[in-house]
């Protein structure tokens, strides 16, 4: 009976020992791993751009909506959408038949006025001679002079009207106002068009600028000369420029300040929406290679080296706050200090507290040095 009573006590003690050992199991498991050689770098601060990104609209500095200056039926369309045109190149033609008839009629009228003008001029010259010889009276000379002046004015007025009609005839031939790219052509041959009808657009695509609205809280920092990067869909810069215009007023609807920056990339088009990164300045921040950063549940972290005694080192999982990218590195806003050792190899095999053997990072190869990787 005594022997049977001791057995439960011994079993309970064994359970308590086992439970106590279970609490330190993760650390023992990490310590049970053999130390893994890992490459490390020493964190150093680098100048990191302080920037904000805004939606920007690309606009052409020379963009025209082409409307006819006269009314009539469209008889010819000489270009197509997307075509590059030169200044003065014919684009479309509106039926000029009626205006051509008007010009012809006015030209005939001008010829009649010219004939009367020439006759009255001759008569005036003849009356001057007769008056000088005392053959005609001063009244007759004055009448001849008056008739000559009237016919001259009448003829000059007729010529001016003819020139106006000829100039209006030119409006039936629509030409490009400057060299550019033709936009959409919503009209068709046979359509009746008027000065309110949009025929097409002409955009000088090589002369673009970015329209960026900066929030008013940044008003004190906005100035000409601030660097601007135009980004593609993946966030990579496709053009680097600088602000050259700052509006003196705040936009009522957007409550922002309009700034403009010239754009030179041929990848962009008029009225295209892009991301524009405005760089306010630079500040020193620790940086780490992109490949050294891991993510768990949306949180970014790196593994740093911590000393655990003489010649003993452990990997420590350190949460960090990332900033912008600097080449192939991330700027770190929080979580690291200058001088920290960050593990840059084999991070997929590490756990918090794993023993490691820190080694210096391998120097970049010639190929990676050229590519910046």
Q: Where residue 355 sits, what CATH number does that domain have?
A: 2.40.420.20
Give residue 236's pLDDT band: very low, low, confident or very high (50, 70, 90): confident
Same domain? 215 vs 307: no
Q: What is the mean pLDDT of residues 186-198?
A: 96
d(CA 92, CA 187): 10
Same domain? 90 vs 239: no
Residue 106 to residues 70, 114, 116, 168, Cα–Cα distance (Å): 19, 12, 15, 13
Give per-residue pLDDT as tens, 332-354: 999 999 999 999 999 999 999 99
- The domain containing residue 163 runs over which residues? 96-171
DSSP classification of residue 236: -
d(CA 94, CA 92): 7
Within a domain: 159 = yes
How do strand 192-193 and strand 72-77 relate by DSSP bridges?
antiparallel
Instruction: Give, for 10, the enclosing helix (H) or strand (E).
Output: helix 2-23
Task: Please say if the pLDDT value at position 104 is more than 80.
Answer: yes
Give residue 362's pLDDT band: very low, low, confident or very high (50, 70, 90): low
Same domain? 187 vs 84: yes
Domain boundary among 282, 317, 343: 282
Diameter of the chain measured on Cα atoms: 177
Give per-residue pLDDT as tens, 265-311: 888 888 899 999 999 998 899 999 999 999 988 899 999 999 988 88
Give residue 15's pLDDT band: very low, low, confident or very high (50, 70, 90): very low
Q: How many domains does the chain have?
A: 4
Q: Can you give the pTM of this predicted structure? A: 0.56
CB 94 within 8 A of CB 72: yes
Q: Residue 89 class from Cβ within 10 Å (0-12 exposed, 13-18 middle, 19+ buried)?
A: middle
- 256 phi/psi in degrees, rounded to 5: -135, 165
Helix then strand then coil, % of the chain, to nearest 5: 30, 40, 30
Within a domain: 3 = no
* Bridge partners of residue 227, in order along the sequence: 242
Q: Where residue 86 sits, what CATH number does that domain have?
A: 2.40.50.100
Same domain? 272 vs 331: no
Same domain? 87 vs 190: yes
CB 141 within 8 A of CB 131: yes
Task: Please say if the pLDDT value at position 218 is more than 50.
Answer: yes
d(CA 260, CA 213): 9
Give residue 357's pLDDT band: very low, low, confident or very high (50, 70, 90): very high
When the pLDDT of each residue in the chain is averaged and rounded to a whole number, the result is 87
Polymer length in residues for the chain: 373
Give residue 14's pLDDT band: very low, low, confident or very high (50, 70, 90): very low
pLDDT at 113: 94
Same domain? 193 vs 79: yes
In this structure, how many other beta carbons lie within 10 angstroms of the beta carbon of residue 7?
9
Within a domain: 6 = no
CB 102 within 8 A of CB 204: no
Residue 189 to residues 75, 76, 95, 358, Cα–Cα distance (Å): 5, 6, 10, 78
First vs last Cα of the chain: how many Å apart? Answer: 77
Within a domain: 17 = no
CB 260 within 8 A of CB 212: yes
When mean pLDDT is compared across 49-53, 116-120, 286-290, the lowest value belongs to 49-53
pLDDT at 239: 94
Give residue 364's pLDDT band: very low, low, confident or very high (50, 70, 90): low
């Amino acid at each position: 009976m005594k022997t049977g009573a001791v057995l439960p006590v011994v079993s309970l003690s064994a359970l308590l020992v086992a439970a106590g050992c279970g609490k330190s199991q993760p650390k023992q498991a990490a310590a049970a791993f053999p130390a893994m050689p890992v490459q490390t770098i020493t964190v150093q601060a680098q100048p990191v751009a302080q920037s904000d990104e805004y939606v920007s609209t690309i606009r052409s500095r020379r963009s025209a909506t082409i409307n006819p200056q006269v009314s009539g039926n469209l008889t010819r369309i000489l270009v197509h959408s997307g075509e590059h045109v030169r200044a003065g190149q014919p684009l479309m033609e509106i039926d000029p038949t009626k205006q051509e008839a008007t010009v012809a009629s006015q030209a005939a009228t001008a010829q009649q006025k010219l004939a009367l003008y020439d006759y009255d001029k001759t008569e005036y010259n003849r009356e001057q001679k007769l008056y000088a010889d005392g053959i005609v009276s001063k009244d007759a000379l004055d009448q001849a002079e008056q008739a000559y002046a009237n016919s001259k004015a009448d003829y000059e007025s007729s010529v001016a009207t003819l020139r106006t009609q000829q100039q209006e005839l030119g409006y039936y031939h629509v030409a490009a106002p400057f060299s550019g790219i033709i936009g959409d052509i919503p009209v068709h041959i046979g359509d009746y068009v008027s000065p309110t009808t949009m025929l097409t657009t002409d955009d000088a695509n090589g002369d673009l600028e970015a329209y960026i609205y900066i929030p008013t809280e940044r008003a004190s920092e906005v100035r000409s000369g601030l660097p601007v990067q135009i980004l593609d869909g993946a966030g990579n810069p496709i053009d680097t420029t600088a602000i050259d215009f700052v509006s003196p007023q705040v936009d009522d609807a957007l409550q922002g300040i309009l700034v403009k920056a010239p754009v030179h990339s041929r990848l962009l088009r008029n009225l295209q929406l892009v991301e524009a990164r405005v760089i306010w300045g630079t500040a020193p921040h620790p940086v780490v290679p992109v490949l050294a950063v891991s993510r768990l549940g949306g949180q970014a972290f790196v593994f740093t080296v911590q000393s655990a005694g003489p010649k003993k080192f452990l990997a420590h999982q350190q949460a960090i706050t990332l900033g912008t990218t600097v080449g192939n590195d991330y700027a770190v806003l929080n979580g690291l200090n200058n001088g920290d050792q960050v593990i840059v190899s084999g991070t997929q095999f590490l756990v918090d507290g794993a023993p490691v053997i820190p080694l210096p990072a391998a120097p970049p190869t010639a190929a990676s040095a050229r590519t910046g990787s």
